[in-house]
Structure 1
Amino acid sequence: MRFGVLGSLAVWTADGEPVRIPELKVRALLADLLVHAGRPVGVDRLIDDLWAERMPRDPHGALQTRVSQLRRALAAGGGRDLVVFQPPGYVLQVRDEALDVTRFRRLTAQAAAAAGPRERAGLLADALALWRGPALADFADEEFARSAAARWEEERLEALESRAEARLALGEHGALAAELGELVARHPLRERLRAAHLRALHRSGRQTEALAGFHDFRRLLADELGLAPGRELVALHEAILRHDPAEEPAPEVDALPRSNLPEPLTAVVGREDAVTAVRARVAGARLVTLTGPGGVGKTRLALEVAAGLREPDGDGPWLVELAALDARVDGFASSVAVATTVATALGLRDDPRSAVDPAERVADALRTRRTLLVLDNCEHLAGAVADLVEALLAAAPGLRVLATSREPLRVAGEALWPVPPLALPAPDASPALQRAAGAVQLFAARAAAATPDFVLDDATAAAVARICRRLDGLPLALELAAPRVRVFGVHELADRLDAVGPLAHTDRFGLLGTGPRSAPARQRTLRATIDWSWGLLDEPDAACCAGSRYRPAPRAWRRSSRSQAPTSAGTRWTSSQAWSTGPWSRRSPAARESRRATGCWSPCGTTGSTGWRRRARWRPPGNATWSTTSHWRRRRPPGSAAPSRGVGCAAWRAHRRTCAPPWTRP
């Protein structure tokens, strides 16, 4: 159990649930025992503390009754045996970490031994966060609590003064000046607190107020105590008067919280090896970019990696989400938008003495810090993000960046880590191997969350493995499909996905459910994710994507000089140019990998099939022509010949008239 005396008396279970202590005398008994935590309190002393001059008829019997009531109340949290009779009275056997004042003292001791002001300020902030109000507020007037409460309050004020000095060393004088003003008003005779307030005022450019504050304090000491200010405060006053450079105002460095990384709502499944590999990659490179198609799990992997890279004496990690920025903004406006978003994520405030350029403000704030920035969804503003990252890495030697993007940022020193789909079981794998595959584990975990009676066993493993293979191991597709088990059951869902044919891929999207309401709109359905990817493609890339499809033969996409990608008027790209040199090969929603041994590009089945749907609505601009190995139009460039060789050509010719969209048929 845990006990709280830094505020009103409180008791919690080990799980954090509050425990109700009934009746005022029982609560007073517990407070008295906590004031002497670990030490026995005599029976006569307890009787005097509880009843004072209003003694009951049988004081010892009344005390035993209250002890029994306290034990029953603590039993609700498993602490019945904590109250023990030990001559000459009773003792509350409580562990050090179970009492908030003990934790407070441990944190302040660690802060005193800290090496730097940032670590010291953080530890003191954690210590002060344990306070919920005045110590033992509901027994502040009782004799047994008065001296302990005064002692703890003094320790709190010393921690506040130490934290103020640490924050001054960090350059947080602007915010500190306002915060300390209220404290000084409540404790006007504390000289150390007054010195911190005067220093914060002066460094914030409020020299007149600082000098007036010194004169007010000197007058107060003379009137109240007949004393003069101490040596330290007098030296500070003289330094302000002679404009000592050490005390001169300086542009404020924004106070950053420790991190803005969200706590995950679900566990990462099937990515243990990837998390370890990416953390090693981040340790060896200052810029690491996770690349891959939409829905492959780049963001979730980045957050899991960042969560394990928290440093006790460092900042962050910091998550900067860029998906909401408009991709249509170009040039200087996009650079400003990206830098402003980063500054907002870091909690930087506008300061008239700070740099006007948001990129410079971010660089100034990070210059002396050791931290990790997680830049999520950079693909639609890759140029602006690359410029900012390059500038920040040059200005802040302690900075590391972990980016997620569907194409590389192409910054010097960038280390790429392509995020693969989750591991899939082989078609002939045993049930045990099927259950061990990462994709199967993720689907089973999400299905069990949505359908409590779902169990992954030998009877369901094969069906789940079929579902995972049909969805190519894409985490987003698996998480959207798992709740559908509640409607169809796992076997029927697998059968429906297996029934999808070359033209029935739209049923695949229809079978999948929708994501959480809190998820971004582009991640609520697989179709929205693919449409987001499509929107990132320019005209030649979109033309090449419209020519892609899910095909039955492994060599349907041939990198041949004869095969042509759809082109605009006056422009002709061969497929090898489109795939190997164009942006399509880096950010396609369909591309999965290059099979160098066969000279073949393999579109991912789930996302690659989007070419069918897009082709039905898309027209090549101007007098562009289609001429691909996998789909050849009669209206082709002069002098070109229809392909007659290559694995897959015959298959496509056999069903071209039935499978091709109407506008492309001969």
Structure 2
Amino acid sequence: MTADVEYRLLGPVELWAGGRPVELKRRQERLLLGVLLLEPGKVVSAERLVGLLWPEERPARPKRALQVYASRLRAMLAKADPETRLEGGAEGYAVQGASGRTDWELFAALVREAKAARDLEQRRKVLLDALALWRGPALADVAEEHLRRRLAADLDEARWEAQELRVATELELGRHQELLPELADLSTALPFRETIASAYMLALYRSGRQTDSLAVYRDLVRRLADELGTTPGESVRELQLAILRQDAALDLRSGDQPPDELPADNGSLPEYDALLSELRVELSRPGRPDGVPAVLCLYGADRSAVAIRLAHQVAGEYPDGQLFASLQDSSGDAVPAPAVLGRLLRSLGLDEADLPASVEERASVLRSRLAGRSVLLVLDEAADAGQLRPLLPADGRCAVIVTSKQPMLGLEDAVQREVRTTSGEPERPGQKRRERGSETTAARYT
């Protein structure tokens, strides 16, 4: 946007030239300018403009009246901003030469810059600069509210999305307590916006207010049911369950602290010492193709306990962190891949509000987050290859330990090993009981 001329749409419609506002006395002139500047250079038909300027009662000669307003606006632009022209006639009108000079376009560019920023403080600063451009609802003074909302729906949505990204960034920076008053107000102003409710729940939880956090979820459920006849989406439901479990993945992590989610290695498994030595060799697999992560699938008795012991033994080889997820819930049912992906992505620092909806998108973000990192993933009690495949990294510096009841067929390049003592010793008393117990323990980490 040039320094001497500014077109402002994010609030009352204004034109500033030379640091001063140019007076636009008539509402229809401001509306005409605002509509044309929503898409600079694009012709808007005269019929549509007439319908917007006079939505209820039209003048006797509406197109002639439109021409009068267009003529006044053209003269005003020629005086205030010679680089911009109002072109057109009976068929429609367009503003030429204003591209890149509206506060709406500057806002969109700043949001794109913020999304690309890796540094959280820089992202926050850019988002604050973008949001500061808003002086009220877009096109605030040009039409009745129902028409304004229709015209500015995309702008209003972009504003709230930027606000949500800024809140998510503040949460990542550990400013949850400072956010609480603002999130309380936003939850009241936007009672059906689930990303705001999720941010409020997480901020309350991190502030030591688990009960209040769950109350926010109950209020959301009630509002959605009573007023919209719907239920909360998957992401906010996952967050509520994680809060109930006091999931460690919800805790704030410092920017340089890698995730460390391995369950405690409580078992005494001397009979598996030889097997564990072999598994460590299998996991490294120096002969595997370049760029392909090691995938080790364990099945048989004590598979979960052995997997956890093995993960602790090799954890030091994966300095960027260790992730753990159970792929089976407490009822023995397979946990859907989107839910597991959401849990892993939150552990890797992605905020709830930024989680994409589809399994394909979440899998893509997971691979992106793991790219360039050396991370160990332990995925317990997989049902089949279909459930597992979206969870696998693509970076060869990562490794995956999988447990399942049966060999995991259909996974290329995976090593399948049955968990049994290499000496062929018979099953120990209580072995099956402990296997079931390890599954129940692992389920707590879903």
Alignment correspondent of 1:16: 19
> What is residue 199 of structure 1 aligned with on the other side?
202
- Counterpart position of 1:59: 62
Equivalent residue number for residue 431 of structure 2: none
Higher alpha-carbon Rg: 1
Matches within 5 A, 1:338-349: none
Q: Distance in 1 between matches of 2:183 and 2:119?
A: 22
In structure 2, list runs of 5 or more residues that go unmatched: 255-446
- Give the deviation of 1:145 after TM superposition: 4.2
Distance 2:63 2:227 in 1: 48
The answer as to whether partners of 1:71 and 1:79 remain within 8 angstroms in 2 is no
Q: Please give the secondary structure, in 2, of the residue aligned with 1:98.
A: coil
2:37 to 30, 34, 37: 34
Indicate which of 156, 169, 174 corresponds to 1:153: 156
Partner of 2:231: 228
Residue by residue, what CA displacement relative to the aligned partner does 1:421-440 show, whole Å, maximum 9, x if unpaired? Answer: xxxxxxxxxxxxxxxxxxxx
Q: Equivalent pairs: percent with the same residue?
A: 41
> What amino acid is the match of 1:213?
V
Question: In structure 1, what is the Cα distance between the partners aligned to 2:51 and 2:172?
Answer: 49
Return the offset for 1:86. Answer: 6.5
For 1:90-132, what per-residue CA distance to the aligned partner results, in whole angstroms no more than 9, with x for missing partners?
1112433311111111111222222232222222111111110
CA distance in 2, matches of 1:80, 1:25: 23
Q: Which amino acid aligns with 1:83?
A: L
Residue in structure 1 matched with residue 167 of structure 2 by the alignment:
164
Compute the TM-score of the two structures, normalised by the length of structure 1.
0.35
**After superposition, where does 1:251-290 map in structure 2 within 5 Å?**
none
Residue 81 to residue 248, structure 1, CA distance change in 2 (3 Å): closer
Q: Are the structure 2 counterparts of residues 152 and 48 from structure 1 closer, same or farther at C-alpha, using a change threshold of 3 Å?
A: same
Query: CA distance change for structure 1 residues 63 and 11 in 2, over 3 Å: closer, same or farther?
Result: same
The structural deviation recorded for 1:232 is: 2.1
Q: Deviations over 1:269-300 (max 9, x none)?
A: xxxxxxxxxxxxxxxxxxxxxxxxxxxxxxxx
The residue aligned with 1:93 is 96
Q: Which amino acid counterpart does residue 56 of structure 1 have in structure 2?
A: P
1:127 lines up with 2:130 in the alignment: yes
CA contact (8 A) 2:78 2:85 kept: no
List per-residue Cα deviations over 1:374-424 (Å, max 9, x = no partner): xxxxxxxxxxxxxxxxxxxxxxxxxxxxxxxxxxxxxxxxxxxxxxxxxxx
Name the structure 2 match of 1:261: none
Relative to structure 1, is the Cα distance of residues 203 and 23 closer, same or farther in structure 2, using a 3 angstrom cutoff?
same
Aligned to 1:5: 9
Distance of 1:81 and 1:224 partners within structure 2 = 47
Q: In 2, Cα distance between the equivalents of 1:54 and 1:65?
A: 17
Aligned to 2:243: 240
Which residue of structure 1 aligns with residue 381 of structure 2? Answer: none
Displacement of 1:81 after TM fit?
A: 5.0
C-alpha displacement of 1:244: 2.4
Structure 1: unaligned runs, 5 residues or longer: 252-666
Specify the code of the residue in structure 1 equivalent to 2:8: G
Shift of 1:245: 2.8
* Inter-partner Cα distance in structure 2 for 1:18 and 1:51: 26
Q: Distance in 1 between matches of 2:233 and 2:84?
A: 52
Distance 1:53 1:169, change over 3 A: closer
- How far 1:249 sits from its partner (Å)? 7.0
SS of match in other structure, 1:18: strand
SS at match of 1:11: strand
What amino acid maps onto 2:32 in structure 1? L
Aligned to 2:346: none
State the one-letter code of the partner of 1:7: G
Flag the 1:24–1:226 CA change in 2: closer, same or farther, 3 A: closer
SS in 2 for 1:133: coil
Calculate the aligned-residue CA RMSD, in Å: 2.5
| Residue 622 of structure 1: aligned partner | none
- Secondary structure of 1:96's aligned partner: coil
Q: 1:43 aligns with which of 39, 42, 46?
A: 46
Is the contact between residue 11 and residue 134 of structure 2 (CA under 8 Å) also seen in structure 1? yes
1:72 aligns with 2:85: no
| Deviation >6 Å, runs of 4+ | none
Contact 1:107/1:124 (<8 A) preserved: yes
Q: Are the structure 2 counterparts of residues 145 and 187 from structure 1 closer, same or farther at C-alpha, using a change threshold of 3 Å?
A: closer
How far 1:83 sits from its partner (Å)?
Answer: 0.9
**Which residue is equivalent to 2:110?**
107
Q: Provide the secondary structure at the position in 2 that maps to 1:214.
A: helix
User: For residue 224 of structure 1, what is the amino acid of its counterpart?
Assistant: E
Aligned twin of 2:438 = none
Q: Within 1, Cα distance between the matches of 2:113 and 2:95?
A: 27
Sort the Cα spacing of 1:61 and 1:237 in 2 relative to 1 into closer, same or farther, 3 A.
Answer: closer
Higher relative contact order (CA 8 A, sep 6+): 2
Task: Tell me the residue number matched to 2:214.
Answer: 211
Distance, in Å, in 2 between the alignment partners of 1:240 and 1:52 is: 49
The aligned length equals 250
Is contact 1:40–1:86 with CA below 8 Å preserved after alignment?
no
Q: Give the distance between the partners of 1:59 and 1:242, measured in 2 at CA.
A: 64
String of CA shifts for 1:545-591, please: whole Å, max 9, x gaps. xxxxxxxxxxxxxxxxxxxxxxxxxxxxxxxxxxxxxxxxxxxxxxx
For the Cα contact (< 8 Å) 2:31–2:143, is it kept in 1? no
Amino acid at match of 1:8: P
Q: Determine helix, strand or coil for the equivalent of 1:26.
A: helix
Aligned equivalents of 1:190, 1:87: Cα separation in 2: 43
* Structure 1 Cα separation of the partners of residues 222 and 147 of structure 2: 37
Q: What SS does the aligned partner of 1:220 have?
A: helix
8 Å CA contact retained: 2:31, 2:53: yes
Amino acid at match of 1:3: Y
Match for residue 136 of structure 1? 139
Deviation at residue 50 of structure 1 after TM alignment: 2.0
3-state SS, counterpart of residue 131 of structure 1: coil
Equivalent residue for 2:270? none
Supply the distance in 2 between the matched residues of 1:153 and 1:16 (Cα, whole angstroms): 26
Offset, 1:38 = 1.9
Query: Does residue 1:118 correspond to 2:156, yes or no?
Result: no
Measured in 1, the distance between the counterparts of 2:129 and 2:143 equals 24
